[in-house]
Structure 1
Amino acid sequence: MEALFWLGCTIAIYWAAKRFYRTFNKTYLTPLLITPIIVIAVICLSGVTYADYDQGAGLLSDMVEPAAIALAVILYKNVDLLKKNAAVILASVGCGALAAIVTSAGLAHLFGLSDEIASSLAPRSATTPIAVSVSSMIGGVPAITAAATVITGLVGMIMGPLLVKWLRIRHPIARGLLLGTGAHAAGISKALEYGAVSGSVAGIAMICTAFITLCAAPWLMGLFQ
């Protein structure tokens, strides 16, 4: 019964956060940011252990894979557009993914951080499962990588729409590339608010970024070290 309570509680918090976001439509009020904050606060105040909470709410984690697979529907509906712009998409994502690795590792070394920390931060722009795997391959700390990846997604999700507004980015493909490359799964969520085309491109961008990071990070980190 307690497990069902926490499952229902988490869903209710997300539903309320989503209604609040639709009412005020502010990027910093997005449910992906507000919901975890409220849930963490509720857990801390109630004194329940994370293990007890996860027995119920953890069922939501099992829905991540079906949700990711469901993106294929949007990709299929826009497959002709994606094929037509394949060269632009691959070139843009490639530059973005490589820049993320180089800047992360470069800044880490510039500030005197260890090779281990630099390796932990390098794959932060890939989606979490890939980033953690790459981190293990190149001598990083998976826990640090996971935290850095989540932070990257949240920051990208918040800053992305601001860049779209300030730089007056109107093309749906450009919006999708910006959000999918810079904020992976969180970016897809935000890109879908701009339309199906932006969401489709963001999904492709996330996948390509993960693949490029997997291939390039070990080689680039070898150069840095």
Structure 2
Amino acid sequence: MITGLLCLLITISLYCLCKKGYRRRPRIYLSPLLVTPVVLVIGLLVTHIPYETYNNGGQWLNHLLQPATIAFAIPLFKYYQVLKKHVVVILISVLSGSLMAMFSSALLAQSMHLDTALVNSLVPRSVTTPIAMSVSQVIGGVPNMTAVFVIITGLLGTMIGPLIVKWFHIDNEVARGVLLGTGAHGTGTSKAFEFSSLTGTISSISMIIAALFTLGAAPFIISWLF
């Protein structure tokens, strides 16, 4: 128990340190979402600490994911009128993007002849972690693997998203927000707030809509494909 709590404190301290470094030098390879897990994995391997022991303390961070998502309600309230004005465009864009993400993940995994459990774990990769893990469990995936795929998706989306914005000269804040929120969930939303508060708000609502839609649609898509 003491070792688990120590691991929890080390995880939080490491993340805060990485975040401070990322603020000074915002490069994707310095992202705390990338550096923190890599350093932790290396540390566990070197010290021979079992994952179960680490998770005795680390599980508390998982419990905080869902209430943390509620914090997005603050910017949603602030920009309610803007959201109301663009609600149809946001809904159509997010639902289309979510469908594309689920179908492309399943079909790509099938084409690579991956195990069914891995295919099911990949399908909800484009939504926020707590919902993605819940969807994965419902459709027969491996929640822990889904969490890994979610992180990879978020990091890639954070790298590619800003490049797409730059190359295609996407100046509209609604378009930027939908792009990052639908494609890279929470990580993309964090990046979206670097553009502007409105872009981040649109991204957060896009992430939430995508998560709710995936939660309802994923079981039907899996049953239809298989």
Same-fold status (TM-score > 0.5): yes
Alpha-carbon distance, 1:162 to partner:
2.3
- In the alignment, residue 167 of structure 2 is paired with which amino acid? W
Q: CA–CA distance in 2 between the matches of 1:192 and 1:101? A: 26
Q: Could you say which residue in structure 2 is the equivalent of 1:46?
A: 47
In the alignment, structure 2 segments of 5+ residues that lack a partner are none
Q: Could you say which residue in structure 2 is the equivalent of 1:108?
A: 109
> Is contact 1:27–1:161 with CA below 8 Å preserved after alignment?
no
> Is contact 1:28–1:158 with CA below 8 Å preserved after alignment?
no
Alpha-carbon distance, 1:31 to partner:
1.4
Q: Could you say which residue in structure 1 is the equivalent of 2:67?
A: 66
* Cα deviation digits, residues 45-80 of structure 1 (max 9, x gap): 333343444444544444333322211111111111
Q: CA–CA distance in 2 between the matches of 1:216 and 1:63? A: 25
Q: Cα–Cα, structure 1 residues 88 and 5, in superposed 2: closer, same or farther, change >3 Å?
A: same
Alpha-carbon distance, 1:36 to partner:
1.7
Alpha-carbon distance, 1:160 to partner:
1.8
- In the alignment, residue 43 of structure 1 is paired with which amino acid? L
Q: Cα–Cα, structure 1 residues 141 and 20, in superposed 2: closer, same or farther, change >3 Å?
A: closer
> Is contact 1:116–1:141 with CA below 8 Å preserved after alignment?
yes
Q: CA–CA distance in 1 between the matches of 2:59 and 2:110? A: 37
Is the deviation greater in 191-200 or in 215-224? Answer: 215-224
- In the alignment, residue 83 of structure 2 is paired with which amino acid? L
Q: Could you say which residue in structure 1 is the equivalent of 2:202?
A: 201
Q: Could you say which residue in structure 2 is the equivalent of 1:75?
A: 76
Q: CA–CA distance in 2 between the matches of 1:59 and 1:215? A: 27
Matched, 1:12 2:13: yes
Alpha-carbon distance, 1:4 to partner:
5.4
Alpha-carbon distance, 1:203 to partner:
1.3
* Cα deviation digits, residues 74-120 of structure 1 (max 9, x gap): 11111111111101110110110000111111222223335443333
Q: Could you say which residue in structure 1 is the equivalent of 2:98?
A: 97
Q: Could you say which residue in structure 1 is the equivalent of 2:193?
A: 192
Q: CA–CA distance in 2 between the matches of 1:110 and 1:3? A: 40
Is the deviation greater in 181-190 or in 14-23? Answer: 14-23
Q: Could you say which residue in structure 1 is the equivalent of 2:33?
A: 32
Q: Cα–Cα, structure 1 residues 140 and 51, in superposed 2: closer, same or farther, change >3 Å?
A: closer
Q: TM-score, normalization: structure 2?
A: 0.86
Q: Cα–Cα, structure 1 residues 27 and 162, in superposed 2: closer, same or farther, change >3 Å?
A: farther
Q: Cα–Cα, structure 1 residues 139 and 58, in superposed 2: closer, same or farther, change >3 Å?
A: closer
Q: TM-score, normalization: structure 1?
A: 0.86
Paired residues in the alignment total: 225
Matched, 1:174 2:175: yes
Q: Could you say which residue in structure 1 is the equivalent of 2:163?
A: 162
- In the alignment, residue 48 of structure 1 is paired with which amino acid? I
Superposed structure 1 runs of 4+ greater than 6 Å apart: none
Q: CA RMSD in A?
A: 2.4
- In the alignment, residue 129 of structure 1 is paired with which amino acid? P
- SS of 2:72's partner is helix
> Is contact 2:33–2:151 with CA below 8 Å preserved after alignment?
no
- SS of 1:25's partner is coil
Q: Could you say which residue in structure 1 is the equivalent of 2:89?
A: 88
